[in-house]
Structure 1
Amino acid sequence: MMVGMRDDEALTLDPEATRPAASSPPSGRAAETAGPEPSGTAAPQAAVAPWVRRLVVVALVLAAVNLRPAITSLGALLKEVRDGLGMSGTTAGLLTSVPAACFALFGFAAPRLARRHGPGAVVLAGMVAITAGLLLRPLAGTTPVFLAASALALAGIAVSNVLMPVIVKRYFPDRVGTVTGVYSMALSLGTAVAAAVTVPLTDAMGGSWRLGLGVWAILAAVAVIPWLPLARDRSATPVHRVRRPQPAAGEQGGDQAADRQDSGEHGSIVRSRTAWMLACFFGLQGTAAYVTMGWMPQIFRDAGISADKAGVLLAVTMVMGVPLSFVLPPLAARMRSQGPIVVVLGAFQIAGFAGLWAAPAAAPWIWALLLGVANCAFPLVLTMIGMRSRTGGGVVRLSAFAQSTGYLISIPGPILVGTLNQVSGGWGVPVALMLALVVPQVVCGVLAGRNRHIEDEL
């Protein structure tokens, strides 16, 4: 029996870990129909008190609510912030790309930090970083200081975002789907509420964009409280690992061979075409999402729509993710190929951006609804990541590669949109660029949605 297990090993356990090392992966028809592994299978765990689980649910909901207001509240007040700090269009575009850059950079660090300190402690630190960043941002007198404070808040969002599913798996291995649904709903609601009420709150507090952005630090500070007792909680840590059989003569060591099989380490993941298609699809849909969150309110305002209404329109776009996040993943999991869903979402995206390009003020509610549906490519790509590997360890590798690479791909888009707006003096060229990017996004999504597994390609 293996002892001295690291805290994060529970995160990579999967049903394969209970099989002998000599077991071969599914083949034939079974391999073709293999889908995501049952989420309830995990190593034996120490008993978790009911009150601890209730506290974890509260902590997860409060954390999820705080994972997007730093972004969408800024989108609603971007014009005021630009005027107050004297930002150029390119710099403002850089600001809208900071979330993707932070998610890529600090997302890489989250697993290592969790191994060293435990997921609960890292999420606590993330909540503290969000609070500090949101408090410091309104105090900034220059653009670099504002960017630095924003990056601090976004770093906290990045590590927390990566580790939320980890916390769910540790404390609710038998209810992953249910708890993830609650967490996803809270995230979407936090996103939408921040977009809708930031401008009215700002007006109620005298019209200062600094107060309008800083008020969200209060909500983040509240989220710190339930994570304090969870930072050092180990009640959900698995108490043992399954014993590995001894290797036959000439084979690798039992633990080493089995660990390689369980983790899906059959070769460098950069050799997988499916992994690259997933990364590109993730990056291109992320580009559209960050342009929508960062620039759509400004497009509406430049078309003559009031700031209040522009914020509500962004909220409508974001709130569409609440119901669709529950519908799309199970639907996609039942399909052999997710390409048809990719095409449908791409059609909604084309229609939404075409409306913004041709006549943003003519039917703004329709354009907001269309882009809200299109933004649900995010839960779709997460579901596809879980379906493109046979093992839990393989999913971990694929998720890390696709998300980190995808976030890097999404960085230039919002910057380029801001630059094109400044150079051209309007939104026609930038929105035309977004329309053109839908084509490679759909192509990559269709290819990534084929019934493939990265182990076969490696």
Structure 2
Amino acid sequence: MRDDRTPPANPKATEERTPAAQGPAGGPAAPQATATRTAPAAPRAGAEQAAAGRPAAATPAAWLIVAGLFLAAFNLRPAVAGLGPLLEEVRDGLGMNGAVAGLLTSLPALCFGLFGMAAPRLARRLGPGTVVAAGMAAIAAGLGLRAASGSTPVFLLFSALALAGIAVSNVLMPVLVKRYFPDRVGAMTGLYSTALALGTSAAAAFTIPLADAGGGWRFGLLFWALTAAAAVPVWSAALLRRRAADRARERPDQRPAAAAPPAAPEAPLRLSRSPTAWSLAVFFGLQSTAAYITMGWAPQIYRDAGVPATTAGLLLALVMGVGAPLGFVLPTLAARMRHQGPLAAGLGACGLVGYAGLWLAPAGGAWAWATLLGIANCCFPVALTMIGLRARTSQGVARLSAFVQGIGYLISLPGPLLVGILNEATGGWEVPLAFTTCLLIAQIAVGLRAGRDRCIEDGD
């Protein structure tokens, strides 16, 4: 199965010169992209159909792409969120010691950072849709096989397989939006951000009931392999439909199109020297740190304050669930803004109030603090939207997404671990909350810079 790989008439033409790109705030594309739009070109793959003057959303199988985006995003977090509630049962069932359990909780961010770096190269060779379809298959296989594993090393191995599938899909979701829906970046980012939040909250809320109904932790983990498997045929159908549409456009009775004139050589993107890329990477890393700290430690903070365990789990589900409605609205709002920094700062301010509440009255205002922390976690869809807006082409978005998420997830690795160390050393949550407050202030500051109206191709 291949994805949108019909060679252009000009051998030097690449996806990076597709005309679908537009400026960071919905403005006009770069002059080179405009020239490509008006020049006649040979029939291209469905992903590049905008060259024929049609909007991306009107392409064949567009509804399948939308369904694929939703299903893929839904399956990007249950592998992580579904394990936490059953971690004690998994440890008992496999004889896993505390050190390995700690490694298991840090494995997602590590895999997201390392495997995500390979996504752009895979996408160039196979096409982003094919890579995401393979990623869904890897998630399904990894989750299914780890649920059946009988030893800790095998459990870790298949967990890494599932997380590798999540990592490449993480990176390529903004790329697919830019490629297939370049004029609807905000709306489509909102769609898959909502699906991601729904998948996360569903895994947090339903994994234990599923395990109880299925007779143990293995079924609780296996269920999420089934939802990932459901995304594979949808992507397969979408890719087959596009290949059929491409073959129809290449019928011999069609008039051959003139070759597009060679484009001027472009300066290579040096993301390691781009202030915009680094600002986005640090912002992504700090918001990921805050999210992992909240997911990992907020229930324990509530329980230490006297909140029952069941209620603490529901509070975590609320934190994750708030992102569903807001995740649909905020990307569209962010895409319409010329500067997304104030939006990032406002969301961060909600987190500061939530941390203050956990410090002063964790049980008394538990539901209010959970709501505020859920709002603060919506920096994630805003960060994804900014990735799509900070590059003019889908290939640029691919490279930027890999750079930002790869470095960002590595930045997030030590945060949750340090919170646990500080809690153990001090016997309370005051110092850990002070630490997370400092990180959130830094996140607000770098978010203001990352939200500036810049594109990495401009050399900022």
What is the TM-score of this pair, normalised by structure 2? 0.79
1:53 paired residue number? 62
Q: In structure 1, how many angstroms separate the alpha carbons of the residues matched to 2:325 and 2:390?
A: 25
1:199 paired residue number? 208
Are 2:267 and 1:279 equivalent residues in the alignment?
no
Q: In structure 2, how many angstroms separate the alpha carbons of the residues matched to 1:7 and 1:223?
A: 28
2:125 to 109, 116, 139: 116
1:225 to 229, 233, 252: 233
User: Cα offset for 1:92?
Assistant: 3.9
The verdict on how the C-alpha distance between 1:216 and 1:269 changes in structure 2, with shifts beyond 3 A counting, is: closer
Paired amino acid for 1:318: M
Q: In structure 2, how many angstroms separate the alpha carbons of the residues matched to 1:388 and 1:174?
A: 14
Q: Greater CA deviation, 107-116 or 172-181?
A: 172-181
2:448 paired residue number? 446
Q: Greater CA deviation, 3-12 or 267-276?
A: 3-12
**Contact 1:126 1:159 (C-alpha < 8 Å) held by counterparts:** yes
Are 2:217 and 1:209 equivalent residues in the alignment?
yes
Deviations 1:289-319, CA, capped at 9 Å, x for gaps:
1222233334434544444333322221112
**Contact 1:100 1:407 (C-alpha < 8 Å) held by counterparts:** yes
Q: In structure 1, how many angstroms separate the alpha carbons of the residues matched to 2:257 and 2:304?
A: 59
Are 2:105 and 1:96 equivalent residues in the alignment?
yes
Paired amino acid for 1:436: C
Q: In structure 2, how many angstroms separate the alpha carbons of the residues matched to 1:354 and 1:89?
A: 31
Deviations 1:150-174, CA, capped at 9 Å, x for gaps:
2111111122233334444555556
What is the TM-score of this pair, normalised by structure 1? 0.79
The verdict on how the C-alpha distance between 1:166 and 1:325 changes in structure 2, with shifts beyond 3 A counting, is: same
User: Cα offset for 1:276?
Assistant: 1.7
**Contact 1:197 1:311 (C-alpha < 8 Å) held by counterparts:** no
User: Cα offset for 1:137?
Assistant: 2.3
The verdict on how the C-alpha distance between 1:12 and 1:392 changes in structure 2, with shifts beyond 3 A counting, is: farther
Q: Greater CA deviation, 144-153 or 223-232?
A: 223-232
User: Cα offset for 1:414?
Assistant: 2.3
User: Cα offset for 1:121?
Assistant: 2.7
Q: In structure 1, how many angstroms separate the alpha carbons of the residues matched to 2:197 and 2:398?
A: 24
1:385 paired residue number? 387
Q: In structure 1, how many angstroms separate the alpha carbons of the residues matched to 2:128 and 2:457?
A: 28
Paired amino acid for 2:132: V
1:248 paired residue number? none
User: Cα offset for 1:219?
Assistant: 1.8
- Mapping of 1:13-412 within 5 angstroms? 14=21, 15-16=29-30, 17-19=32-34, 42-44=50-52, 52-82=61-91, 84-85=93-94, 91-172=100-181, 177-206=186-215, 208-231=216-239, 233-235=242-244, 245=261, 254-257=262-265, 260=266, 265=268, 268-389=270-391, 394-412=396-414
The verdict on how the C-alpha distance between 1:5 and 1:313 changes in structure 2, with shifts beyond 3 A counting, is: farther
**Contact 1:96 1:415 (C-alpha < 8 Å) held by counterparts:** no
Q: Greater CA deviation, 430-439 or 50-59?
A: 50-59
**Contact 1:75 1:295 (C-alpha < 8 Å) held by counterparts:** no
Paired amino acid for 1:136: L
Structural RMSD (CA): 3.7
**Contact 1:269 1:275 (C-alpha < 8 Å) held by counterparts:** yes
**Contact 1:12 1:396 (C-alpha < 8 Å) held by counterparts:** no
Q: In structure 2, how many angstroms separate the alpha carbons of the residues matched to 1:241 and 1:120?
A: 27
**Contact 2:19 2:33 (C-alpha < 8 Å) held by counterparts:** no
Q: Greater CA deviation, 425-434 or 146-155?
A: 425-434
Question: SS of 1:255's equivalent?
Answer: coil
The verdict on how the C-alpha distance between 1:451 and 1:129 changes in structure 2, with shifts beyond 3 A counting, is: closer
Q: In structure 1, how many angstroms separate the alpha carbons of the residues matched to 2:62 and 2:333?
A: 29
Paired amino acid for 1:60: L
Deviations 1:118-171, CA, capped at 9 Å, x for gaps:
333322221121112111223344444333222111111122233334444555
Q: In structure 2, how many angstroms separate the alpha carbons of the residues matched to 1:427 and 1:146?
A: 32
* Percent sequence identity over aligned pairs: 58
Q: In structure 2, how many angstroms separate the alpha carbons of the residues matched to 1:50 and 1:335?
A: 27
The verdict on how the C-alpha distance between 1:277 and 1:234 changes in structure 2, with shifts beyond 3 A counting, is: same
Q: In structure 2, how many angstroms separate the alpha carbons of the residues matched to 1:277 and 1:176?
A: 21
Any gaps of 5 or more consecutive residues in structure 2?
1-7, 22-28, 37-46, 251-255
1:250 paired residue number? none
**Contact 2:112 2:409 (C-alpha < 8 Å) held by counterparts:** yes
Deviations 1:332-388, CA, capped at 9 Å, x for gaps:
344443333232222211222233344433332122111100011112223333444
Question: SS of 1:42's equivalent?
Answer: helix
User: Cα offset for 1:437?
Assistant: 1.1
User: Cα offset for 1:9?
Assistant: 5.3
Any gaps of 5 or more consecutive residues in structure 1?
22-38, 246-253
1:413 to 396, 412, 415: 415
User: Cα offset for 1:48?
Assistant: 10
Q: In structure 1, how many angstroms separate the alpha carbons of the residues matched to 2:371 and 2:258?
A: 49
**Contact 2:201 2:320 (C-alpha < 8 Å) held by counterparts:** yes
**Contact 1:92 1:415 (C-alpha < 8 Å) held by counterparts:** no
**Contact 2:117 2:402 (C-alpha < 8 Å) held by counterparts:** yes
Q: In structure 2, how many angstroms separate the alpha carbons of the residues matched to 1:299 and 1:81?
A: 23
User: Cα offset for 1:390?
Assistant: 5.7
